[in-house]
């Protein structure tokens, strides 16, 4: 069964990094953000059971680093109960095959992401014309071929609950990817937004490198449905999150988050929408 697991043919290391790479931030006592090159992974730990889960699986070739991060935080040979995917893009599943083999744990994703995670369908090609930034320009080398997670991949429960994350609920936030989900906890309004919106202008290599904080829509080069992306941001803003961890960039909280999300909703066209691009309708 293990031998059937595989990445796509286009799987490769992506030479892009940021000043945040290799740095972990304890955003809340039970939520730890760690940056792999230019993307964030999150560890959620349940204080009452000592169980923990990994949210998203980093850049290609990052599995060893992710295992070290987990063992540094939870002890030698510690393993999460599951991996929860906000979506299946290459920078969120980059280490996942090695991780599920090493830990032998289930992966949960939205049913609409399943074709990309079970070898059935490739993501549409990235669009380098959406921005003049260098990350956008290098996006054609990003892996988009479906990966094969075999029996390890399971649909996230339809009732909105998330395995091993008892207080969180998932919210369907499509647009950047069809089955993109965000994770939200009502009690302290903690939001894991994935790439529904991000806090760095991800198209720009300079801004990614310096991790300059700037509220942004979903990374443009991989976003295929802008109408849905807008509705998803409005949905998340309406939740009035108090703290947000996003797939790219630094965490944001309090008034800074409230004001920036409002600004993003009110100025979606100027801030998020590309001026040109093949996925604009």
| C-alpha to C-alpha distances, 166 to 31, 45, 108, 181, 275, nearest whole angstrom | 14, 11, 15, 16, 41
| Sequence-ordered alpha helix ranges (H) in the chain | 63-74, 96-103, 114-117, 134-138, 205-210, 226-238, 254-266, 268-271
Among 113, 195, 203, 237, binds Zn ion (CB under 5 A): 195
| C-alpha to C-alpha distances, 74 to 32, 50, 68, 88, nearest whole angstrom | 12, 9, 10, 26
Residues binding Zn ion: number (CB under 5 A): 4
- Smallest distance from Zn ion to CB 38, Å: 8
Our CB check for Zn ion shows the closer of 70 and 208 to be 208
Distance of CA 170 to the CA centre of its chain: 13
- Smallest distance from Zn ion to CB 185, Å: 22
Binding track, positions 153-172, relative to Zn ion; x by CB under 5 A = --------------------
Our CB check for Zn ion shows the closer of 91 and 225 to be 91
Using the rule CB under 5 A, is 225 a contact of Zn ion? no
Among 150, 178, 241, 247, binds Zn ion (CB under 5 A): 247
Question: Which range touches Zn ion (CB under 5 A), out of 59-67, 83-91, 257-265, 271-279?
Answer: 83-91
d(CA 114, CA 150): 10
Our CB check for Zn ion shows the closer of 49 and 109 to be 109
Using the rule CB under 5 A, is 56 a contact of Zn ion? no
Using the rule CB under 5 A, is 131 a contact of Zn ion? no
Among 16, 89, 146, 152, binds Zn ion (CB under 5 A): 89
Among 91, 98, 113, 127, binds Zn ion (CB under 5 A): 91
Q: What is the DSSP pairing of strand 190-194 with strand 168-172?
A: unpaired
Alpha-carbon dihedral sign for residues 140, 205, 61, 221: negative
Q: What is the DSSP pairing of strand 39-45 with strand 31-36?
A: antiparallel
Residue 77 CB: number of other CB atoms within 10 A?
Answer: 9
- Smallest distance from Zn ion to CB 17, Å: 15
Using the rule CB under 5 A, is 98 a contact of Zn ion? no
DSSP 8-state assignment for residue 123: P
Binding track, positions 60-79, relative to Zn ion; x by CB under 5 A = --------------------
Question: Which range touches Zn ion (CB under 5 A), out of 9-17, 150-158, 165-173, 243-251?
Answer: 243-251
Using the rule CB under 5 A, is 180 a contact of Zn ion? no
- Smallest distance from Zn ion to CB 175, Å: 11
d(CA 23, CA 3): 33
Our CB check for Zn ion shows the closer of 151 and 220 to be 220
d(CA 261, CA 238): 9
Q: Which residues bind Zn ion (CB under 5 A)?
A: 89, 91, 195, 247
């Amino acid at each position: 069964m293990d031998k059937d697991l595989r990445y796509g043919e286009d799987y490769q290391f992506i030479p892009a990094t940021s000043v945040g790479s290799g740095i972990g931030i304890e955003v809340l006592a039970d939520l730890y953000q760690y940056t792999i090159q230019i993307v964030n992974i999150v560890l959620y730990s349940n204080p009452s059971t000592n169980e923990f889960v990994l949210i998203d699986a980093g850049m290609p070739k990052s599995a060893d680093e992710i295992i070290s991060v987990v063992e540094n935080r939870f002890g030698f040979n510690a393993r999460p109960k599951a991996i929860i995917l906000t979506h299946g893009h290459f920078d969120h599943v980059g280490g996942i095959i090695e991780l599920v083999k090493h830990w032998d744990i289930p992966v949960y994703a939205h049913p609409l992401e399943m074709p990309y995670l079970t070898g059935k369908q490739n993501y549409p090609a990235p669009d380098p014309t959406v921005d003049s930034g260098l990350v956008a320009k290098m996006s054609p080398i990003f892996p988009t071929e479906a990966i094969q997670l075999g029996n390890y991949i399971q649909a996230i429960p339809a009732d909105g609950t998330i395995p091993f994350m008892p207080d969180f609920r998932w919210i369907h936030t499509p647009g950047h990817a069809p089955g993109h989900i965000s994770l939200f906890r009502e009690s302290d309004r903690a939001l894991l937004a994935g790439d529904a919106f991000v806090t760095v202008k991800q198209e720009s290599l300079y801004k990614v490198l310096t991790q300059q904080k700037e509220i942004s829509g979903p990374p443009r080069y991989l976003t295929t449905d802008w109408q849905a992306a807008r509705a998803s941001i409005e949905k998340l803003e309406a939740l009035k999150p108090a703290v947000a961890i996003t797939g790219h960039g630094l965490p944001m909280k309090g008034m800074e988050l409230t004001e920036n999300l409002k600004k993003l909703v009110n100025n979606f066209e100027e801030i998020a929408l590309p001026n040109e691009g093949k996925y604009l309708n």
